[in-house]
Chain A
Amino acid sequence: MWKFGRSAVALVVAAAMMLGGCSAAQKDSGAQTVGSDSTEGTVQMGRYVEDYVEGNVEMNRSTSLTRLEDGRLAFFSYNYGPYVSTDDGRTWEPWQAEWFQDNCIYRSFRCAAIAPDGTMFVGYMDYSAEVELEADADADEGVATDAETAAEDETATEDETVTEDETAAEDEAEEEGGSLAILMEYQLVQPDGSFEKLEFAGMGGEWITDCWFAPDNRLYVSDTKQLYEMSMEGEVTKVFETPSHVQQLLFLTDDRMLAATEQGVLFYDRKNRVQLDRDAVLDEFLMAQVKQNGNMIKYTSDAYSVYMQAGEADTLYLVSGDGIYSHILGGGTVEKLLEGSLCTLGDPSKSIYGMQLLSYNRFLVLYGQGTGTFAWREDVPTLPEKELSVYSLERDKMVQQAVSLFQTEHQDVYVNYEVGLEENSGQTKEDAIKALNTEILAGHGPDVIILDGFPLDSWLEKGMLSDLSAVLARAEETEPVLHNIAVSLERDGKLMAIPMRYRFPGIIGPAQELADVKDLKGLADATEALRRKKESGSVTGSIDAQSTLRILETACSPAWEAEGGGLNRNAVEDFLTEAKRIFAAEDAGTMPEEKAEWEETKNARYGRMNGMETDDTWMLMDISSGNIFLQEDRIGMGYINEVWSLEIMFSVRRQKEGLLCDLLMGQSDKVFIPYTIAGIPVSAKEPELAEQFVERMLSADAAVGGGFSINRDAVEKEIRLNGDGNGGIIGAMMMTDGNSYQQMTVYQMTQEEVDWLYETLESLQTPSLRNEVLISAVLENGEKFLKDEIDLETALTEIENRVKLSMVE
């Protein structure tokens, strides 16, 4: 009896799960973004084609793209004021200009909304009383990037630079003031230009993070905890609570409202004043998009990673960098209407600020510098006939940019950018590489591979990649490519991979001690000398053993591998010995508080378990230089990743006495770390297209933030971004070491410094290909050795053992 019961229960449970899964799956089959309709069989026709128009006015950082009652379109630009358009967004003219003129000086707008009847609601911060931020007055015109906020935003592009500087200014203002309250003022502006100031009586001293007008001209505002309705007199009534601030509020035709927050989309019925059920499919899609694009729906720059707009009935349209999607509320799928890479949406340097439905099947998307009108054309094939596939293990911004550029220039080619590693799944990097290898060997491989993360040596040796010498030669005819970097990965006379970006380690410190340092041993000598001079306080900035090793490794690891592939034991021995000297010197005088603080931030620097991200921003020269600025007699070492790092580094040198900056010389000469390494497999199905793509990557405008470009013009552009290279002021940064604040001015590079940069770039010669097994073995055993837990021989033996397997295979 019991036995029967057991079986019965088991069967029932199993059946329940199956049915549950079955029905849920029926509803949700394809809840993941289903790729564009199949390209099998006959050529499918019909797709959205974009007509991108450069804005005829200055318009970046915009919000509230609205259709006014009189049919005109309007939006509000935080920097340049409100605009209207009578031709569906192609051209714009300033609107409410007088009001804006009177109100824009020394005011930083934080939120704005335009009602269909022409009423506007704005919120801003007033700086007119702040005098000491004159440096920022310059900044209003210039375009500086602030490293801290830049680190938050995934897309550091031109149209965001102004805001980041302002955000920095605000942060500074707050810190000066000692409190963190943001003092906002609000105005309600009537269509005739008259306005009145309103007070916001939200809960607990909060401020309005964003505001929207409903189609019936009712105003809604949100702070970080609630959504309110605000009357024209400024009285607020709570609508509902939100887990975090509302990033987009969307109104549907039937009194329903969608509030997009970081935790998902909330639904609300305005007429009946009740919250409605959420839409799991929509939430999941949104979360996936957000995760891919910087973990925010709306960035601090006010651009959107994904923006929603209502269609007829229950249809919802969503735009993001991946394309245009549609979703029927409550339905089971999110359908892709247009692939992002086929239009400007896929260009990572173009930010999305809003979207509007013009008519059935016509959309308008508002970008930072223009607008795109999407119309459905039956006569265009759904996907271009030719397909170029590009592959990288992890998503690479620069590749995305290149894809987008290439796509727009070659409308007859569909560029399929494939990312190998699925986030957060049971798949490891090797699994992805194996799968790729299989595909390639079976003849289905991609046309262009970005080799970051691959076992480069084996690939170069096995003959998997074609020779790119011709491609390079062609590119060099028209573009100033840094030849030394481009050919750095040559093997046996064949150039099979070209790195598109790179960075290199640098050092800044007291000239007296560092002047004669030419290698690691010299560095150790200098550190000890510094320590003799300065008894307490950190000398290298890398306070514990692990960080010391990591920083030094950047300039030394190429030397650890012997010619022909074995381990160069002597080099490793030298490394460990010198590193120990450096660490000992450092450790002898670091203060307990410094050690404690460093400990605390340890996890951010290097996690221990698989799957934990390690963040090496702490190794950037920006940070290291900053530390130098605050304390005397210190060396700062770090990656010089972009022009901005150099600007900070040189600015420090300018403002402090007796400092020198140089390439970090370790055991290898003139090391650089290449990435976005492109190669074309021999099995590529579209080799000519692939070559054209690689050529395109070598050109100037394909460069996107992070890493130096292989193209001299792109580097030049980066330098020019902040001025005209004559050493003028860019802005100011607040430096803090936890105790005191100091303001440091950031200067542009002088001509001399620029020359130094180009000289250095052209002299870089040793690519660091980062053999992970070797490096992690050295770091692990090195740490124990530095801390005196094991002796040198043991450490070396351990390292050898660890690496033996990989060397020998």
Chain B
Amino acid sequence: MKKKRNRAAWLFLAPSLGGVLIFYLIPFGDVVRRSFLTAVTGEWKGLDNYKTVFQNEAFLLAAKNTARFAICCLPLLIGAGLLLAVLIAGHRRLKIFLSAYLLPMAIPSATVVLVWNMLFDRWGLFNGFCGRIAALAGWGHAFETDYMETGAAFWVLIVSYIWKNLGYTVTLWLAGLLSVPEQLKEAAAVDGAGRGQIFIKIVMPQLLPNLYTITVLSFINSFKVFREAYLVAGSYPHESIYMLQHLFNNWFVDLSLDKMAAAAVVTGAVMIGAILLLQYLWERDEGGPE
């Protein structure tokens, strides 16, 4: 019986596995191979590339920024999403706002860039609008920075990221919230628990799988800011937004494929570690992938 089921499982998996092998695993294998060779001529270099990469300032900066970005933006997004979802969950009618929040996701990168320029340029709309209001209060000069040229660029990126991803984050949370069985909540209420307690002790644990999904999705999407940052600020933007993808991009243009490969493998390894951690933390009590 089990054997038959196993075979069925493999059949289900086969097409996907085959394609993944050809289009992803083999290429990745090539990347790993390249991490041990020189870029163009293909001579063996052993672990040299890895050494170079670990000592490379640019890599360290980029890695730091990427991590910093993820650590900043993920909780913000997830938290904000949860908050909004809670607000909406309480009152069905408020669901119409959801459509509005989903809109940014449909907007293509190049357009985002255009809007970005219009808003966040030194003379852009944002400064103009806020500046005028602030001038009323006497803080006229607070809004004169060129955002992309200073450390503020980091926050522009975060705002842009949240703006884009808020919609589906809220949707996912909402779905989770709404699927918590009413009886559980009512039972707790009957037992005398306050609303806050209900939320923390009953609802939140139910949401853990949602949290997992949302975190992974948001993490993936955090990489997508690259294209927009690149189109606006170029290959060498302000320090604070210089991320791994910028580095990869530049290395590619420079033909430093060996360094790029080594860095990619390192990044991959780090991500494996992070995921394993996530899994351990969140899935130990659920019947996850066994």
Contacts and interface: CB of A to CB of B under 8 A. Distances in A.
A and B in direct contact, judged by CB atoms within 8 A: yes
Interface of A: 426, 428, 430, 433-434, 437, 441, 455, 458-459, 462-464, 609-610, 682, 773, 801-802, 804-806, 808-809
Interface in B236-257: 236, 239, 242, 247, 249-257
Given A426-B110, A609-B117, A805-B61, 15 more contacts: A428-B231, A434-B252, A434-B253, A441-B40, A458-B254, A459-B255, A462-B40, A462-B254, A462-B255, A462-B256, A463-B40, A610-B234, A804-B57, A805-B239, A809-B58
A682 B242 CA distance: 33
A428 B255 CA distance: 17
B41 interface: yes
19 contacts: A426-B110, A430-B235, A430-B250, A433-B253, A434-B249, A434-B252, A455-B254, A458-B253, A458-B256, A462-B256, A610-B232, A682-B40, A773-B235, A773-B236, A802-B236, A805-B239, A806-B236, A808-B57, A809-B254
Interface string B32-47: 0000000111000000
Nearest to B254: A458
A51 B65 CA distance: 64
A49 B230 CA distance: 47
Contacts of B235: 430, 773
B255 A458 contact: yes
Nearest to B41: A463
B279 interface: no
Contacts of A459: 255
Contact of B250 (A426, A437, A809): A809
Contacts of A773: 235-236
B56 interface: yes
Contacts of B61: 805
Contacts of B247: 809
B231 A610 contact: yes
B262 to A, nearest CB: 13
Contacts of A434: 249, 252-253
Instruction: Give the residue among A434, A609, A808, A809 with the most B Cβ atoms within 10 A.
Output: A809
A455 B255 CA distance: 9
Interface in B209-249: 230-232, 234-236, 239, 242, 247, 249
A773 B256 CA distance: 18
Contact of B58 (A441, A610, A808): A808
A784 to B, nearest CB: 11
A613 B105 CA distance: 32
A464 B256 CA distance: 11
B58 to A, nearest CB: 4
A455 B253 contact: yes
Contacts of A610: 231-232, 234
A805 B236 CA distance: 7
A437 B252 contact: yes
A134 to B, nearest CB: 53
B141 to A, nearest CB: 14
Contact of B255 (A426, A437, A801): A437
Nearest to B252: A434
Contacts of B250: 430, 806, 809
Nearest to A436: B253
Contacts of B249: 430, 434
Instruction: Give the residue among A437, A609, A682 with the most B Cβ atoms within 10 A.
Output: A437
Q: Which 6 A-B pairs have the closest CB atoms?
A: A458-B254, A809-B58, A808-B57, A808-B58, A462-B255, A433-B253
Contacts of B231: 428, 610
Nearest to A683: B40
A464 B255 contact: yes
A434 B250 CA distance: 9
A809 B53 CA distance: 9
A358 B250 CA distance: 55
B244 to A, nearest CB: 12
A609 B232 CA distance: 9
Contact of A430 (B41, B56, B253): B253
A730 to B, nearest CB: 44
A236 to B, nearest CB: 47
A390 to B, nearest CB: 20
Interface string B142-174: 000000000000000000000000000000000
Nearest to A802: B236
Contacts of B109: 426
Nearest to A609: B117
B37 to A, nearest CB: 12
A458 B256 CA distance: 8
A441 B257 CA distance: 10
B117 to A, nearest CB: 7
Nearest to A455: B254
B56 to A, nearest CB: 7
B285 to A, nearest CB: 37
Nearest to B122: A608
Contacts of A441: 40, 257
Nearest to B250: A809
Nearest to A428: B231
A610 B110 CA distance: 12
A805 B242 contact: yes
Interface string B85-129: 000000000000000000000000110000001000000000000
